[in-house]
Homo-oligomer: A and B are copies of this chain.
Amino acid sequence: MADVKNSKQELVKLMKEFLRIAPDLYLPAISIDPVVFSYHNGKLNVLVVRFAGSSGFGLPGGFVKKNEDIDAAALRILQEMTGINNIYLEQFYTSGKVSRYDKKVIRNLFIKRGLELPANNWMEQRFVSVCYYALVDAEKVMLKSMPFIEAFKWMDVKKLPRLSYDHNDIIGKAVSRLQSDLDNKLVEFKLMDETFTMKDLQKLYEIVYQKKMVRTNFQRRILNLGVLERLDKKYNGKSHKAPYLYRFARAK
């Protein structure tokens, strides 16, 4: 977890520059919100950030460049905001209620930093947000200091505070989608090591579904998916009770 404080003056300069270039650089009315889950320490966590000048946390969102595919924008934004790159992002929802946009929140944020906010500036338009989710191993990602970000935090999805905009609602939808997608996305998410035990995999499922599962039922369910290959046990001098190892089948 990083925690960076920019000097107030530097930040005001950055924000002014951003407001100046944004209308030429980005598509209007559209934002992107990446929901990055991790499953470290037996918990399902979600990555939130505190933007410079803001008192609360929110998703590490951003905007779409005028000549950029939205999928590419999602990857770039996540990289720019958190340093995370090269992960599998799945588009799952577009949030477009009028009420999700709160002009007052943005005004207060800027005014608190001593920034005079011109009327009809980039940040005060209504945004429809295209949302993506990812599931990563928190130990394998590195979060980097970014100019607009004061702090990163992995928060337990069960204990989220009130986040910016409608981000609590977006994260709730992402959890449901992650659960219903997990069987089909297991291989794509690249969450397991090259080989793993049934117990390793069950642990992942228990974290994502946030409940304990019965070993025999779980095993039947997973084997029915037809994506696993069981490796032959090699005699290694240890007890025969060593668990079977599995890997994902190549074909499919």
Contacts and interface: CB of A to CB of B under 8 A. Distances in A.
A130 B28 CA distance: 15
Contacts of A69: 96-99
A195 to B, nearest CB: 30
A30 B29 CA distance: 8
A64 B68 CA distance: 22
A51 to B, nearest CB: 23
A64 B28 contact: no
Chain A, interface SS category: mixed
Number of this chain's copies in the complex: 2
A94 B130 contact: yes
Interface string A51-87: 0000000000000101111110100000000000000
A70 B91 contact: no
B98 A128 contact: no
Interface of A: 27-30, 64, 66-71, 73, 91, 93-94, 96-99, 126, 128, 130
11 contacts: A27-B29, A27-B128, A28-B28, A29-B29, A64-B96, A66-B126, A67-B98, A70-B96, A70-B97, A94-B130, A96-B130
